[in-house]
């Protein structure tokens, strides 16, 4: 069993929490100085689950669902793998030598192994607070709607996803202005869940191109289609 530095911290955080959704695990990491994005935490949690190192259950959340991740007791297997690694490199090691390191303080190198990530999109571009709109403002705004608006309907688009390119960064479905996209239950060959059109939103895409423009992997695009009558 091998765990990278971030995986180690995530399993440790989950152990303290017992079980938690990805967002709370990310908050727990941040409280202890590990700044990582939600997307990164979510991806690592999914990989740990795929390797059988943590549990995962679905729960309803705001009309959709989300995964709640659960700590599994991997202590014995983990310790055994460390000892196996030590034996593999150094042969038999004196137990007193190991005890000496067990009681020593963690080195600075261990603390520094997880590098800080850049701030999240939400931190860089915080949403402006929405002020209540007065009746007068609503009336004035209604006057600005073109009287012949019905002659110029919004365009319609069809969404295409190149699943194998997707790396589950969440950008497309989090930024779609009409909430057309959601995460799929299925994964591609690299273990990433990819976007799909939300049920009931098959005709909702307006071909705005936001999903295509934000995708770092060129994994999603839309083409304009005739609006269905």
77 by Cβ neighbours in 10 Å (0-12 / 13-18 / 19+) ranks as exposed
Residue 161 beta carbon to ligand SF4: minimum distance, rounded to whole angstroms: 6
Q: Does 69 bind ligand SF4 (CB under 6 A)?
A: no
Of 110, 109, 121, the residue nearest 40 (C-alpha): 121
Question: Hey, which residues does 164 pair with through a beta bridge?
Answer: none
Q: Does 211 bind ligand SF4 (CB under 6 A)?
A: yes
Q: Does 22 bind ligand SF4 (CB under 6 A)?
A: no
Looking at 51, 83, 209, 227, which residue binds ligand SF4 (CB under 6 A)? 209
Q: Using CA atoms, how far apart are residues 6 and 4, in angstroms rounded to an integer?
A: 6
Give 60's contacts (C-beta < 8 A, 6+ positions apart).
Answer: none
Q: Does 170 bind ligand SF4 (CB under 6 A)?
A: yes
Looking at 20, 41, 172, 184, which residue binds ligand SF4 (CB under 6 A)? 172
Q: Does 163 bind ligand SF4 (CB under 6 A)?
A: no
Give 57's contacts (C-beta < 8 A, 6+ positions apart).
Answer: 19, 67, 68, 70
Q: Which residues bind ligand SF4 (CB under 6 A)?
A: 157, 159, 166-172, 176, 178, 180-181, 194-195, 205-211, 214-215, 217, 219-220, 222
């Amino acid at each position: 069993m091998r765990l990278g530095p971030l995986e180690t911290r995530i399993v440790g955080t989950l152990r303290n929490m017992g079980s938690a959704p990805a967002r709370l695990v990310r908050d727990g990491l941040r409280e202890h100085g590990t700044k990582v994005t939600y997307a990164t935490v979510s991806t690592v949690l999914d990989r740990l689950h795929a390797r059988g190192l943590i549990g995962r259950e679905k729960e309803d959340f705001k009309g959709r669902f989300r995964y709640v991740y659960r700590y599994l007791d991997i202590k014995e297997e983990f310790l055994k793998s460390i000892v196996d690694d030590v034996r593999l490199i150094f042969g038999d090691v004196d137990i007193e030598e190991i005890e000496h390191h067990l009681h020593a303080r963690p080195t600075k190198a261990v603390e520094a192994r997880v590098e800080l990530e850049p701030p999240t999109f939400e931190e860089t571009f915080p949403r402006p607070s929405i002020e209540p709109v007065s009746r007068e403002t609503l009336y004035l705004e209604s006057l600005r709607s073109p009287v012949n608006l019905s002659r110029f309907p919004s365009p319609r688009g069809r969404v295409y996803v190149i699943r194998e390119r997707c790396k589950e960064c969440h950008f497309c479905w989090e930024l779609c202005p009409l909430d057309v996209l959601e995460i799929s239950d299925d994964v591609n060959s690299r273990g990433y869940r990819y976007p799909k059109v939300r049920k009931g939103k098959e005709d909702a895409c307006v071909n705005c191109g936001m999903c295509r423009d934000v995708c770092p992997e060129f994994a999603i695009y839309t083409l304009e289609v005739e609006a269905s009558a």
